[in-house]
Amino acid sequence: MMMDGRDVVAMWEGLASRDAASRDAAMESLQQEMMRRVESIGPLPETPCSSSASHLNRVLARILMLSKRCPYGDVREKCIWLLRSIQDIGVRIPRPLGNGPSRFIPEKEILQVSKVDARTQSIFEEAFSLGHLDNISLVMGFHPQYLESFLRTQHYLLQMDGPLSLHYRHYIGIMAAARHQCSYLVNLHVNDFLQVGGDPKWLNGLEGAPQKLQALGELNKILAHRPWLLTKTHIESLLKAEENSWSLAELIHAVVLLTHYHSLASFTFGCGITPDIHTDGGHTFRPPSLSGYCVCDIANGNGVAEVSGEVEVLMERMKQLQECRDEEEASQEEMTTRFEREKTESMLVATAEDEECVPSRDVSRHFEDPSYGYQDFSRRGEHVPTFRVQDYSWEDHGFSLVNRLYPDVGQLLDEKFQIAYNLTYNTMATHQGVDTSMLRRAIWNYIHCMFGIRYDDYDYGEINELLDRSFKVYIKTMVCSPEKTTKRMYESFWRQFQHSEKVHVNLLLMEARMQAELLYALRAITRYMT
Amino acid sequence: MEKMACVSTVSSRTMFCHLDAPANAISVCRDATQVVVAGRNIFKIYAMEEDGFVERLNLRVGRKPSLNFSCADVMWHQMEENLLATAATNGAVVTWNLARPCRNKQEHLFTEHKRTVNKVCFHPTEVHMLLSGSQDGFMKCFDLRKKESVSTFSGQSESVRDVQFSMKDYFTFAASFENGNVQLWDIRRPDRYERMFTAHTGPVFCCDWHPEDRGWLATGGRDKMVKVWDMTTNRAKEIYCVQTIASVARVKWRPERRWHLATCSMMVDHNIYVWDVRRPFIPFATFEEHKDVTTGIVWSHQHDPYVLLSGSKDSTLYQHIFKDASRPVDRANPEGLCFGLFGDLAFAAKESLMTGEAGRKPYPAGDRRYPIFFFKKPDVTEQFAQVASALSVFESEADGSSRMDWFIKTARRYLLSGKPFAELCDHNAKVAKELNRPQVSTTWTMLRIMFSDPGNPALPANHNMSKLGNIPLMNSFNLKEMSSALNERNKENRQDNLHNLETNLNNDENEETEGSDGQAEYLFGDAELDDDDLYSMEHENQAEEAEFSLPQEAFPLRHEIVDHPSAPEPPAEKPESPQVSGSEAESFCLTPMESISLISVSQLLYQPQLPPSFFCPVVREMLDYYAEQGDVQMAVSVLIVLGDRIRKEIDELTQEHWYMSYIDLLQRFELWNVSNEVIKLSTCSAITCLNQASTTLHINCSNCKRPMSNKGWICDRCHQCASVCAVCHHVVKGLFVWCQGCSHGGHLEHVMEWLKSSNHCPAGCGHLCEYT
């Protein structure tokens, strides 16, 4: 008996169930189905291109994914066993490409998390049953508290009540991710987009999409690269476009989605997220060749402490700053200069190699004007007025606006920002009981500084003390042109710190960037409204 | 005397002046002649004169003004008229002395706060005492005769948004926080707050002590609420709450008016509202002059309730006069309309409107209406316009369609689980029929027929047969009763119905196919059946159609009546209608002959090509239809009874939505048991978790009165059995019932027994217990 589509869906769902018995049952039917299919094709099919064979390969890839990523041990074991028995019949089975969810972090370390931490495990299980256990979540699993809030927010933005229809939401996600040439996120959402009934024609490029979405392209571009240029005329042109106009609530939803995916693209590149195993590029059917191993993959461990004392120096500096702050009081002019200097300097931090990597055709078709990138505003001589956070802050103004037009999302975002900002384990590398608030604040404010956002009550001299050059390069690249992040950059900052701490930094970067973009967008909307 | 003087000096008209930059805060001096405006780029003093504001002094001096001039807040000392304090965004607290001879009036600079200072506040009676609250979570008290703070108060939580000295209690001040808390402090005890409570969800932006009532504190928060707290009791008690439309940035009690306060908002809304806290639904007065958000409001004089000053982001400073305020209540329509649970309708409107239509003809649907008049005793202290309104209640007819009796009865009597599928369906069909809901009843029967057969080709044929045997019989039994009901319906309707049937059909079909078509139509509740579906049914099993043909006759009628009562009937139909007269159709299926023939062809009926899942799309459409019609009860009941047979057909969200709606309805009718059963039987995880919440009951040991910590029956503190039955003195290991009055109790049946014969508590405590 051929299983029809519905049964297959039910079977995959069964595998994600929390109930062991229904997992067993689903596994059973999966085995039968696979065996039947494999036999029907016969060993070593001569025509690998036939549709049934390619379908089989997709299923095999999925089983491979389950054998590696499923949070349930029983399913993992059985999938491994199933793959092996299929291989014994003589069918080629896939193997995962790359090493683990991240190119930067050893797979072992990531997967260990869920085995140790019960909370992470339960979050993974929940995400898995919703079909969202992607590599991003796996990497974020280092910080379960944050992950929970992140997944809740993302789920709300994409699935729950909101002014935009489901396929619009995914399409906007695609637009935003494509702006940073993040093929991982684009592929993820292309699938979702088609699944919720999106028109495949839209995927040929923005010109295939409705006028209304095309109009959003400009906002997307500005927000991603130069949010400070956003004015109320941009907003007005979106809201007053005859039959293609956006409503305020829709616009807020779109803005939140855009900023969410811009910053998520930063995270994806910053942590070197690899494609999910069951998607294209996540696995291969070719047998491993010996030359495939990169030496650095094997030899690489982050723990090699060539530069000892880096952490200690940083801690010493934090202590000094803490102590001397009361004594030496910089003049106001000095403070202003420090901010300007940091702002200017952040522009001069070279963003890695200058070679222009041409975006793959596949992704670039989702946006126009690929040459438009982050532009250092001070360098070109154009003076952009500084954005004073005391005059327009997320807590006082942004929140109220979002919550008014898109209820509950303000609350969710507020929680997420707070968790990201306040997250700490009071550790630094191997040291326990360290108050890291100063360091976290420096990172957060440095990112806002790059966007021209200034805190009156912050001494920007601290940034210079606490963030060294390689770290600044990393931050700058990740925030402004994440697609250029390289493994070398990831490794060259904070060499003694643990991977989980680097992921933590990435979370900070991501949230700070999102808030910065949101602040500019919301301020423009507020100005339009008044 | 002083009051009179003050009022006369101030010009009494609404006026404004342009500032050079947006204002963040304003403050007036004690005698209400001058106002100070502070903002990021402005720090000026204006005099209020007869013909407008006149700039008196610009305090922002120096070529490159430092951030110390960037003010988040300003306050003018109420006793020392030359003294001002500002809170700077860079964390500085600055005091200014206007009596200084040079241009720079800055007197002290305190840079003790690490973050932006949100608020400064002078002590109302103590000249040298200044309080500040900052983003860094600290409050500091300064003695202006010293160079640094005398005490620091740590809120142990997030940023401080506002600090206010109590008007009446010399040592007390209140602080409001970004995390929603409000703390009360004694100025002499910097180590710990006296009291803390959560006032709002999200930041509390402002607070204000009542100028006369000791212990009344008004707070405003990002959650758009203004709350008035009574602090004289042990726990801070919320006595009034006003819901505004935007987050509340400032709140100020109105002088001389006990229940009035003014608010302005942080975002979106630019108006200033004056509320009477006893009338929280509509503002007492509104000032609508500003074009951008209002950032500072202050009453010009502590004894003058008529003049309000305000500064705004739109760079204007206004003096508002009360007589120019708009009164929203004058424009409001005092009308209300509400549906009751049982279909009753209540309508309240201005008395004058209601009496005007007294001569109107009676309301067509409701037979009775009760005019009820409410008179609220006019309160002279409320300066609200008094409105008398008349309330009419339209009761729905005793057995009209809007009555919800059927809902309750159905909910109570339906069986959703615990029996074989077929029995459940039959039972529910019977229930529906008894409640005079034939359509629903037939639906249940249909479901039973569609799904109850195993449809498994592996089963022996005779087994198949015997099972099937029931169905036609059952059906014909139903038909008999239904047809009698049918006879009462008039011919016209029937024809109407038949006409509908026939338009679905190609005209050349025979009687039987007409039946099947009607059947399908009845099932979906509308006539949009695909032709393909029709044909497949027709060709694959004639017998089934025959079987279904009759119930259809009874029910589409009713359905049609409801849906298209006035569908025009083309005259061309007339000649055709006699072809299928009702009686003809009835008799044909009621004959035993037909039943036998049904059995004989039933082999055909359950061919493997037609597994129960074949009906799934049909059933799904039917459920959708019921849910659309508002009968979510049917949708959910069928969903539960069919269980796995249909569940995968319907997406999770829809299911969840149905469940939620049904459970909500059940709870409104207080059908707790049914609602819990539904929750238990549902398969949506979001629903089943509904009754997982707060399932823990904490108990104290009956001997030592300490909380029971571990499981089991022995208290681990006094090592005695805790829950002993007062009647039999054994440990209760099951249902424990106890008196809410004296808290004695025991085995359910023992206590019941006991209280049958005695009124007193079985424990002998003398309490008169009652078991109901």
Task: Name chain B contacts of A333, Cβ cutoff 8 Å.
Answer: 64, 66
Sign of CA dihedral B14, B18, B22, B24: negative
The model's confidence at residue B693, banded by pLDDT at 50, 70 and 90, is: low
Mean pLDDT estimate for chain A? 76
pLDDT at A42: 58
Structural domains of chain B, count: 4
Query: Within an 8 Å CB–CB cutoff, is residue A333 touching chain B?
Result: yes
The count of other CB atoms within 10 Å of the CB of residue B6 is 19
Q: Which has more confidence, A359 or B252?
A: B252
**Shortest CA gap B202–chain A (Å):** 9
Alpha helices in A42-72 (DSSP H): 51-69
The residues near A507 (Cβ < 8 Å, ≥ 6 apart) are A140, A143, A146, A267, A420, A423
Closest CA to B602 of B541, B561, B550: B541
Q: Which has more confidence, B449 or B587?
A: B449
Q: Nearest Cβ partner of A456 from B67, B203, B648?
A: B67
pLDDT at B460: 38
pLDDT digits (tens, 9 = 90+) for A237-260: 888 877 778 888 889 999 999 999
Could you tell me the CA-to-CA distances from A342 to A331, A348, A381, A461, A472 in Å, in that order?
Answer: 17, 10, 16, 8, 11
B497, B573 in Cβ contact below 8 A? Answer: no
Q: Are strands B106-110 and B93-97 parallel, antiparallel or unpaired?
A: antiparallel
The model's confidence at residue A56, banded by pLDDT at 50, 70 and 90, is: confident
Residues B424 and B534 in one domain: no
Stretch B742-770: mean pLDDT: 81
Q: Which of A165, A396, A459 to mutate to test the interface with B (most CBs of B within 10 A)?
A: A396
Closest CA to B640 of B411, B454, B473: B411
Sign of CA dihedral B355, B359, B363, B366: positive
- Give the residue on A whose Cα is nearest the Cα of B293: A530
Q: Nearest Cβ partner of B268 from A331, A390, A400?
A: A400
Residues B473 and B594 in one domain: yes
Whether the per-residue pLDDT at B603 is higher than 60: the answer is no
3-state class (DSSP) for residue B681 = helix
Indicate whether B420 belongs to any domain.
yes
Indicate whether B767 belongs to any domain.
yes
The DSSP letter of residue B99 is T
- Portion 400-429 of A in contact with B at CB < 8 A: 400-401, 404, 414
The count of other CB atoms within 10 Å of the CB of residue B735 is 10
- Token digits for A45? 């099919």
Task: Name chain B contacts of A456, Cβ cutoff 8 Å.
Answer: 67, 70, 88-91, 116
Indicate whether B325 belongs to any domain.
no
Burial A61-70 (b: 16+ CB within 10 A, else e): bbbbbbbbbb
Residues B478 and B447 in one domain: no
What number of CA atoms fall less than 13 Å from residue B248's CA on the CB side? 31
- Token digits for A197? 């009934």
pLDDT digits (tens, 9 = 90+) for B17-34: 988 888 999 999 888 889
Mean pLDDT estimate for chain B? 74
Stretch A130-143: mean pLDDT: 79
Q: Nearest Cβ partner of A404 from B70, B268, B648?
A: B268
Stretch B273-288: mean pLDDT: 90
B114 with A336: Cβ contact below 8 A: no
Residues B375 and B450 in one domain: no
Residues B478 and B574 in one domain: yes
A448, A512 in Cβ contact below 8 A? Answer: yes
Catalytic positions of A are 182
A331 with B66: Cβ contact below 8 A: yes
**Shortest CA gap A530–chain B (Å):** 6
Residues B708 and B746 in one domain: yes
pLDDT digits (tens, 9 = 90+) for B537-554: 444 444 444 344 444 444
Indicate the range of A3-17, A41-55, B63-77 predicted with least confidence.
A41-55
3-state class (DSSP) for residue B108 = strand
Last residue of a domain, one of B664, B692, B720: B692
Give dist(CA B451, CA A335) in Å, integer. 78
Indicate whether B143 belongs to any domain.
no
Alpha helices in B682-728 (DSSP H): 685-688
- Give the residue on A whose Cα is nearest the Cα of B71: A390
Indicate whether B574 belongs to any domain.
yes
What number of CA atoms fall less than 13 Å from residue B141's CA on the CB side? 23
Indicate the range of A274-283, A409-418, B661-670 predicted with least confidence.
A274-283
Residues B664 and B594 in one domain: no
- Portion 41-70 of A in contact with B at CB < 8 A: none
Indicate whether B524 belongs to any domain.
yes
Chains A, B: CB contacts within 8 A come to 73
Q: Nearest Cβ partner of A397 from B88, B266, B648?
A: B266
Task: Name chain B contacts of A340, Cβ cutoff 8 Å.
Answer: none
Q: Nearest Cβ partner of A10 from B72, B91, B648?
A: B648
Task: Name chain B contacts of A338, Cβ cutoff 8 Å.
Answer: none
pLDDT digits (tens, 9 = 90+) for A474-497: 888 888 778 887 888 888 778 778
Residues B501 and B600 in one domain: yes
Indicate whether B135 belongs to any domain.
no
Stretch B640-660: mean pLDDT: 82
Residue-number span of the structural domain to which B477 is assigned: 466-508+518-546+558-606
Sign of CA dihedral B144, B148, B154, B155: positive
The residues near B679 (Cβ < 8 Å, ≥ 6 apart) are B659, B663, B687, B688, B690, B691
- Give the residue on B whose Cα is nearest the Cα of A6: B648
A390 with B40: Cβ contact below 8 A: yes
A332 with B90: Cβ contact below 8 A: yes
pLDDT at B380: 58
Closest CA to B540 of B610, B595, B446: B610
Give dist(CA B36, CA B27) in Å, integer. 5
Closest CA to A397 of B205, B577, B667, B426: B205
Whether the per-residue pLDDT at B382 is higher than 80: the answer is no
pLDDT at A7: 66
Residues B645 and B578 in one domain: no
pLDDT at B311: 92
Last residue of a domain, one of B677, B692, B707: B692
- Portion 266-285 of B in contact with A at CB < 8 A: 266-268, 270
- Token digits for A415? 């929680």
**Shortest CA gap B572–chain A (Å):** 44
Last residue of a domain, one of B692, B717, B740: B692
pLDDT at B383: 66
Residues B626 and B721 in one domain: no
pLDDT at A512: 93
Residues B583 and B642 in one domain: no
Q: Nearest Cβ partner of B266 from A329, A333, A396?
A: A396
- Give the residue on B whose Cα is nearest the Cα of A459: B90
Indicate whether B684 belongs to any domain.
yes
HEC states along A412-444? Answer: HHHHHHHHHHHCCCCEECCEECCCCHHHHHHHH
A397 with B91: Cβ contact below 8 A: no
pLDDT at A348: 55
Query: Within an 8 Å CB–CB cutoff, is residue B42 touching chain A?
Result: no
Residues B711 and B668 in one domain: no
- Give the residue on A whose Cα is nearest the Cα of B652: A130
Burial A351-383 (b: 16+ CB within 10 A, else e): bbeeeeeebeeebebbbeeeeebbebbbeeeee
Give dist(CA B259, CA B207) in Å, integer. 15
Looking at mean pLDDT, say which of A382-386, B2-6, B222-226, B588-592 comes out highest: B222-226
Task: Name chain B contacts of A323, Cβ cutoff 8 Å.
Answer: none
The residues near A279 (Cβ < 8 Å, ≥ 6 apart) are A187, A188, A191
The model's confidence at residue B165, banded by pLDDT at 50, 70 and 90, is: very high
